[in-house]
């Protein structure tokens, strides 16, 4: 089945172009588009529960209600919907605010459409937290700055025992370095499906549910 999504972007050219490219794929169905947060929330009210998008691609800077506020309201009203920021902004403040608002990932608009589709699949199928490589490196740097101040005995993410296979450790290291599923698969000469299975095992063993938490734990506990 195709993954139902929404696109929220005030730039009509960007919105229509992205919708057309995603709609033409075999994996994505664009369920609704909106020009800002208010428009998005109003259109969500009109949809039956079973027709709600599973993933929302949300711009940040928009007139009226911006993307960060839309995610805050959206997560409260529709907790089952996942939000991915899709923006031109890569500064630390925007990343931090988006994560606090409840965004499940942070992508840049200059990413290839094939990668955006793959990241939407990650969020929909594995509830991961995809980030563009540039954003992932920034997030890792922010985590590293705080990791030395965390007492491992008080760290709720610290596992009692962590037993990752050699391949799982290799894939975890690539996640930390900012590789996405497809790039990881290409580098390791395996299928994207195989990478997804390994990452699902990593999440299970580390007792986490997202890429961001796996990266956080890996850095704090020096798992790689």
Q: Which domains are delineated in the chain?
A: 3-136 (3.40.50.2300), 151-220 (1.10.10.10)
- Residues in contact with 124: Cβ distance below 8 Å, sequence separation at least 6, in sequence order: 3, 54, 55, 82
| Distances 36 to 28, 52, 66, 73, 158 between C-alpha atoms, Å | 21, 17, 6, 13, 39
Contact 94, 175 (CB under 8 A): no
Q: Which residue has the higher pLDDT, 180 or 10?
A: 10
Contact 15, 7 (CB under 8 A): yes
Q: Which residue has the higher pLDDT, 74 or 104?
A: 74
Q: What is the pLDDT of residues 49-66, one digit of tens each?
A: 889 999 999 999 999 999
pLDDT at 162: 54
pLDDT at 128: 53
- Residues in contact with 7: Cβ distance below 8 Å, sequence separation at least 6, in sequence order: 15, 18, 19, 22, 30, 32, 33, 34, 56, 57
Is the pTM here over 0.75, yes or no?
no
Q: The tokens of 117 are what?
A: 């589709």
Distance between terminal CA atoms of the chain?
Answer: 36
């Amino acid at each position: 089945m195709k993954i139902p999504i929404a696109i929220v972007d005030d730039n009509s050219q960007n919105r229509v172009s992205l919708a057309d490219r995603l709609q033409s794929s075999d994996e994505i169905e664009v369920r609704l588009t909106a020009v800002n947060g208010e428009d998005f929330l109003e259109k969500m009210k009109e949809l039956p529960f079973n027709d709600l998008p599973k993933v929302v691609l949300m711009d940040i800077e928009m007139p009226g209600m911006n993307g960060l506020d839309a995610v805050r309201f959206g997560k409260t009203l529709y907790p089952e919907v996942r939000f991915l920021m899709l923006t031109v902004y890569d500064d630390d403040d925007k990343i931090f605010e988006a994560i606090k608002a409840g965004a499940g990932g942070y992508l840049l608009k200059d990413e290839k459409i094939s990668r955006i589709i793959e990241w939407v699949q990650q969020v929909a199928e594995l509830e991961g937290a995809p980030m563009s490589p540039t954003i992932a490196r920034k997030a890792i740097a922010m985590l590293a700055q705080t990791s030395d101040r965390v007492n491992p005995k008080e760290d709720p993410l610290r596992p009692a025992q962590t037993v990752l296979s050699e391949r799982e450790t290799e894939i975890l290291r690539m996640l930390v370095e900012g590789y996405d599923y497809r790039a990881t698969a290409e580098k390791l000469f395996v299928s994207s499906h195989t990478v997804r299975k390994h990452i699902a095992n990593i999440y299970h063993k580390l007792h986490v549910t997202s890429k961001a938490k796996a990266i956080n734990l890996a850095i704090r506990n020096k798992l790689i």
